[in-house]
Amino acid sequence: MDKKKFAFDKTNFILLAIGMLVVILGFILMAGPGTTETTFQADIFSVRRIKVAPVVCFLGFIFMIYGVIHKPKTDK
């Protein structure tokens, strides 16, 4: 099968995988102990969970969009 018939190149898949790993890292940074009715965890308002993790996820999604839009190089 001819390689020119594929919409994505190997580079596109690598960029998508890196973007997905960055998004997963952002969700891991958001994780932590939760607050229940009997105990209050002040960690729920930490900078890591409110500011850093959403920015990391957003950058991961932007990187994935770039991975989809990136046009593979063609040799002529």
Express each pLDDT in 22-72 by its tens digit: 999 999 999 988 888 888 888 888 999 999 999 999 999 999 999 999 887
What kind and span of H or E run contains 10?
Answer: helix 10-30
Is the pLDDT higher at 1 or at 29?
29
CA distances to 3, 4, 9, 58 from 18, rounded to whole Å, are 23, 24, 15, 13
Q: What pLDDT was estimated at residue 61?
A: 97
Confidence of residue 4 (pLDDT cuts 50, 70, 90): low
In this structure, what token pair is assigned to residue 18? 């890196």
Q: What pLDDT was estimated at residue 29?
A: 94
| First-to-final CA distance of the chain | 19
Question: What pTM was estimated for this model as a whole?
Answer: 0.82
